[in-house]
Structure 1
Amino acid sequence: MKVIEPLLLRAKGLRVWSDDESGASAWEIVYPEGTFFLMISPEVFRGFSGEGQLLRTLATPPPEATIAKVRAALKWQSQVDTEQLAKDIGASGSEVKAALGILGTRGLAGYDAINEHYFHRELPFDLAKVEEMQPRLGNARKLIEAGKVRRVDGASDPAKFEVDGTGTVHLVTLSDDGDSCTCPWFSKYLGQRGACKHVLAATLLMQDEESGSEDL
């Protein structure tokens, strides 16, 4: 908090939000023109991916070509019009929003949580280390590499997967109505901190299966 203390000297107001369940808080310093917005996680390791809410997008990103087109269209806008941008580059609105989320993790876009829109800004991130900062996603990939994830036969709507855990097998359900897992981590947070590694692993495997079907 000492980081923002000098910024308060010229401020005309301060707004604070907090979430009792997750422990996250948001601090908005209001100036005559513009604001400074800071979100804080209760532990350092939790903060980089927006409390885990972007992990699903990182696991199933839009085409890299779409991400590149969105990045090329960013010209320091204070508010990105996602609908217009989607029309300009010939992509869907959901793909553009996902691409902006990806660019956000790379330090190339920001999100205004007050007005609910993206804006262009660039932070000095080491892009090579972005995925290293997402241990859950890395652990999900390791589960697949170890052959510990498999689809339940006959389960397609919703899709169900078995994921080997430590001395047990977790059941993952992927559905448009919401994903779920029988692991203790999911039971504790119920998706509030994003997907668990088992849900991410199942999502990655299903994406690989669908990509293989399209190739055929």
Structure 2
Amino acid sequence: MSQSFVQNFQTLSTVLSHSEETDILLATPLKNPGQMAQFFRGQVRSPLLFRNALLWLSEIVESRFYRPDLWRYLDPVVTCEPQRVRLECFSSCASVYGRVDFEADFFNGYALQTRGTTHVNFNPAFIKSLSQLRPGQRAVLEVGDQFLALATETAREIEVKVTLSERWLRGFLQSQALFRRATLWKSLPTLAARQFLLQLKASDTGERCLCLRGAQLQSLPIRPTGLPEAELLEVSGLHRLGLFRKLIPHLQSLDIYQTHANGPTLWVAHLPQARLTLALSSTVKHGFSGEGEALRSLSQIAPQAELDFLRMLVAGLESFTLEELSQLAEISIEQSTAWVDTLASEGLLGFDNHADRYFYRVLPFVQARQGRLENSQALFSQEKVSLEQVLALPGGLTAQGWIQGQSAEYHAELALQGGYLSQGNCTCRWIQRHGLQRGPCKHLLALRFAAEAHLAQVSPPVAGEHHAPPLA
């Protein structure tokens, strides 16, 4: 006679390799298969800051800076890591990204059972309980696979896991691709940062030019003359920074990052044992879900076996840089960049500008559909691309060609450097209207795929030598 025994576990066992040791984390079994697996539990050291930070997130997800008459989302994504808890969200119009990073020292007893990610809805009862927190009151945060709970002296509010929209997933993909290319513009100390945020007006909805005058950051309606380009930062929809207002008393410093001319900006506020990241899209009309920055690094050639290996590799890393990933996986920086964007499109990675590192988090849904990517792959596979010229260069290539669309034929040309589409032009309406500010069009992507496939059929060029293989 045979018997079957079934054991349920909270998660998979994990092996973490460090420079000096290897940690084997064995999964713990569920005592009750119906219970909800817990990732983290910790008592908050500063209830007032915790309250204001989570209410800040709630205000972001409720905000619509464009078309305020439409629907709203209320679903932050929560990730528990060995050294911190992150909560991420977008505004309902997707023109603002917000993230709170609570460091381990923010909690009195950082009890992490396993790494994990979930997403919940901040309902009115949870917001009410959160709003009633006062200094000195006991507050315990619990996060699990299917829930987030806040236990206070008088109540325990539980928010359960909900379904996220595909628009948010597209936003997570595009935002990380933008963030990793952002560079630090200015760092403001406590007084200058608070003065700047307090002077913002709700009427600052158009284009503003930022510059430092002495130690003070000023917002001007026109570009001042006589200042170097590097000392100026143009921002549209600056009024969205008003979301920072309730956190001003906690503010210690403010770092400002820029991406490219007239592009999205990032604002990282440093608080005691916590950080807030607020990102503004290029304009309030353009949400992060519509930006196409990640498409500038995606390549048609992405071997499944290598991607499977990379998924397992990053799952064992708390965070990493492209250089570290390249060394561990024994691949080039160009491959790392393209494949990291592919993994991000599956909801596996985010980017922390303060640490300048990727972090691992699993969003519980499959790859979001990228309309431009799917359409470009169709153009390529259906042989709608006619190459005029392909020139292989050290670390990149240039290409020109014609792409047959549904209603017209378009001429496109591009330049790749280090796997990144650094230059591109097309006669289609999308590029004529946006340039590359919102990512490449489907015609440029199809041209890239065709050019890469053409070069893959010939011998690689000698380093430093220009190579133009014959076209059929």
Please state which band the TM-score falls in when normalised by the shorter chain.
0.7 to 0.9
**Aligned counterpart for 2:328 among listed residues 58, 76, 88:** 88
Give the residue type in structure 1 aligned to 2:401: F
CA distance in 2 between partners of 1:97 and 1:145 (Å)? 24
Aligned mates of 1:64, 1:10 — CA distance in 2 = 49
Partner SS state of residue 175, structure 1: strand
Select the structure of larger CA radius of gyration.
Answer: 2
The alpha-carbon deviation at position 166 of structure 1 amounts to 5.8
**Aligned-pair Cα RMSD in Å:** 3.5
Give the aligned partner of residue 204 of structure 1. Answer: 449
Task: Name the one with the larger helix percent.
Answer: 1
Contact 2:268-2:278 within 8 A present in 1 as well: yes
Q: Does 1:164 align with 2:409?
A: no
SS at match of 2:320: coil
Name the TM-score, length of structure 2 as normaliser.
0.37
Within a 5 Å distance, the mapping from 1:105-120 to structure 2 comes to 105-120=345-360
1:80 to partner: Cα distance: 0.7
After TM superposition, the structure 1 = structure 2 runs for residues 18-37 of structure 1, keeping only pairs within 5 Å, are 21-22=262-263, 24-37=264-277
Cα 1:100/1:148, change in 2 over 3 Å: closer
> 1:116-168 CA deviation, whole Å, 9 max, x = no partner?
322222222x214x2x1x1111221233355432112xx23242110124654
Q: Matches of residues 1-216 of structure 1 in structure 2 within 5 Å?
A: 2-3=59-60, 8=247, 11-12=250-251, 21-22=262-263, 24-41=264-281, 42=283, 46-48=287-289, 51-60=291-300, 62-74=302-314, 75-77=316-318, 79-124=319-364, 126-128=365-367, 130=368, 132=369, 134-152=370-388, 155-157=389-391, 158-165=398-405, 168-176=408-416, 178-211=423-456
Give the distance between the partners of 2:269 and 2:457, measured in 1 at CA.
Answer: 49
Q: How far apart are 1:202 and its partner, in Å?
A: 0.9
> Which residue type is aligned with residue 91 of structure 1?
I
Distance 1:33 1:69, change over 3 A: farther
Distance in 1 between residues matched to 2:384 and 2:261, nearest whole Å = 35
**Are the aligned partners of 2:297 and 2:341 in contact in 1 as well (CA < 8 Å)?**
yes
Q: Structure 1 CA distance, aligned partners of 2:286 and 2:375? A: 15
For structure 1, the 5+ residue unaligned runs are none
- 2:257, 2:329 → 1: CA distance? 36
Deviation at 1:29, TM superposition (A): 4.3
- Of structures 1 and 2, the one with the larger relative CO (CA 8 A, separation 6+) is 1
Give the aligned length: 205
In 2 relative to 1, CA 102–166 (structure 1 residues): closer, same or farther, beyond 3 Å? Answer: closer
Greater fraction of residues in strand: 2
| Cα deviation, residue 206, structure 1 | 2.4
Identity of aligned residues (%): 24
